[in-house]
Amino acid sequence: MFDVQKVRADFPILKQEVNGKPLVYFDNGATSQTPQQVIDTIVDYYSRYNANIHRGVHTLSQLATDAYEIARNKIQHHFNAKHSYEIILTSGTTESINLVANGFASILQKGDEIIVSALEHHSNIVPWQMLCEHTGAVLKVIPMSVEGELLMEAYDGLLSNKTKLVFCNHISNALGTINPIEYIIQKAHEVGAAVLIDGAQACPHLKPDVQALDVDFYVASAHKMCGPTGVGMFYGKEEWLRKLPPYKGGGEMIATVSFEKTTYADLPHKFEAGTPNICGGIAFGAAVDYMNHIGFDAIAKQEQELLEYGTQKLQEIEGVTIYGPSDLTKKASVISFNIEGIHPYDIGTIIDKLGIAVRTGHHCAQPIMDFFKIPGTIRASFAFYNTKEEIDIFVEAVKKAKTMLS
C-alpha cells in the first residue's frame, strides 16, 4: 500500500515553513525535491571517498570509480539500455541535447530537414535552430491543436526522404501533454530519420524502455527524478554513438595524445571529457533506486488522483481556464491555468506569501504561449509526495488571491 505520509517523511524540506505557513511545493515540473536517502549518499561521498575517478590507483579513487560506474549501471537498467556504455552522464538534459546537435553538425547538409514539435522547451528548440544556421538544414514544426496535442496527420505530411532527425518531448513541461512518441519514432524510422526524445518531464512519472521504444536518443535530468542538480543522462544507440564525433575535448575522453594527433577513448568516455559531477552521478543512481523502491505504478496512481482532484477543484473557480488535454489520461500531473483578467505572476506572488510554490510565466516554452495568445500561465505540477489536502490549501489560496486582485 502506498502511504503518502510515510513517503513525505523521507523529504526534509517538506517539513519547513515558508512565510510562516507550511510549505506546499507544487513546482515539481521545474525540479523535484530530494529524499534523505539521496542526501545521505551525497554526504557519504564527500565524507568518506571523495576522489577523482578512472585515473587513480589509490583506494579512494577506486572506491569512487566503482560507485560511479555502479550508478551508470543502475541508470542503464532503469531505462533498459542494451549496454552500460550507451549511457553517457552529462550535466543534464540541455547538455545532452546540445551533444547530439553538435554531432549532427558534421552530418547534415544544406537542404536536409529536421522536425521539432510545437510543444518543446526552449532547450529542445534553440540548439536545433543554431544547427540549421550552421549547416543550412531546414527546421520544420509539428503543429498543435487547441487541446494542446500534436497533430499527427500534419506530422505525416512533414516527413520525407529529406528528413534526417526528429526531436520531441515525451511529456510537455508547460501543458503536461503526453505525446505519442511510439508513433513519432516509428514514422520517422520509416523515412530513415533518427529520433531524439526529451524525457526530462516524463521520467519523474513513468519508466521509459528505450529498447522497446526503439528510440535513437533519449535524454533526462536527475533533478526532476529526486536527484541532484547538474547531472543528467544521455542514451544513444551504440551505432549512433560511434558515428557522432566527441562533443568536448580534454582529459578522460582520449586514448592517446601527441602534438601531431589525438585518438579518442572508447564509449562512454569519448563523450565524458574532464572531471565529471562524480557525486551527482552517484546520487543519480541513488535517486533511481529510491523511485524504483516507491514503484512507478504507485507513483502513477497517486499522481493521477492528484491531477483529477486538482483539475476538478480549480474548475470550480469562476474565470479559470486550464490549458492542455481535457482527457486527463493524455496528460501528466501538471495543471497549467489562468484566471480571466489577472496576470499569472500576480497570483503566484500572492500565494507564495501563503507558503505555496508554483511556477508562473512561459515555462521556457514561449511558442506555446504565443499559440494561445497569453503572456504565460500558472503551473501547478504535482509529485507523488503531494496530497489532496495540499491541493485544498492551494485552491483556497488561489481564491483568496483572485478576490484580492479582482
Give residue 64's pLDDT.
Answer: 97
Q: What percent of the chain has pLDDT over 70?
A: 98
Give residue-wise pLDDT tens across range 367-389: 999 999 999 999 999 999 999 99
Give residue-wise pLDDT tens across range 12-32: 999 999 999 999 999 999 999
The reply to whether 279 belongs to the active site is no
Give residue-wise pLDDT tens across range 256-281: 766 777 676 788 999 998 899 999 99
* 252: region left, alpha or beta (phi > 0 left; psi from -120 to 50 alpha): left
Contact 203, 225 (CB under 8 A): yes
Neighbouring C-beta atoms of residue 406, cutoff 10 Å: 11
Give residue-wise pLDDT tens across range 27-60: 999 999 999 999 999 999 999 999 999 878 899 9
pTM, to two decimals: 0.95
Q: What is the mean pLDDT of the chain?
A: 95
> How far apart are alpha carbons 196 and 181 in whole angstroms?
10
* Position 251 pLDDT exceeds 80: no
**DSSP H helical segments within 196-249, as ranges?**
210-213, 238-243
Give residue 95's pLDDT.
Answer: 96
DSSP 9: T
Give residue 1's pLDDT.
Answer: 81
**Cell numbers at 390, concatenated:** 495540499
> Which of 118 and 260 is assigned the larger pLDDT?
118
Beta strands in 317-376 (DSSP E): 320-323, 334-339, 356-357, 359-361
> How far apart are alpha carbons 291 and 32 in whole angstroms?
12
* 249: three-class secondary structure by DSSP: coil
Question: What's the rounded mean pLDDT across residues 176-193?
Answer: 98
Give residue-wise pLDDT tens across range 270-315: 999 889 999 999 999 999 999 999 999 999 999 999 999 999 999 9
C-alpha dist (Å) from residue 309 to 69, 205, 337, 382: 41, 17, 15, 11
Identity of the amino acid at 339: I
Neighbouring C-beta atoms of residue 57, cutoff 10 Å: 6
Contact 231, 91 (CB under 8 A): yes
Give residue 316's pLDDT.
Answer: 97
Catalytic residue among 132, 168, 226, 364: 364
* Position 250 pLDDT exceeds 90: no
Across 181-198, b (16+ Cβ under 10 Å) vs e yields: beebbebbeeeebbbbbb
Contact 56, 62 (CB under 8 A): yes
* Position 254 pLDDT exceeds 70: no
* Position 149 pLDDT exceeds 70: yes
Give residue-wise pLDDT tens across range 321-336: 999 999 999 999 999 9
Query: What is the number of residues in the chain?
Result: 406
**Cell numbers at 68, concatenated:** 560511479
* Position 363 pLDDT exceeds 80: yes
Question: What's the rounded mean pLDDT across residues 119-148?
Answer: 96
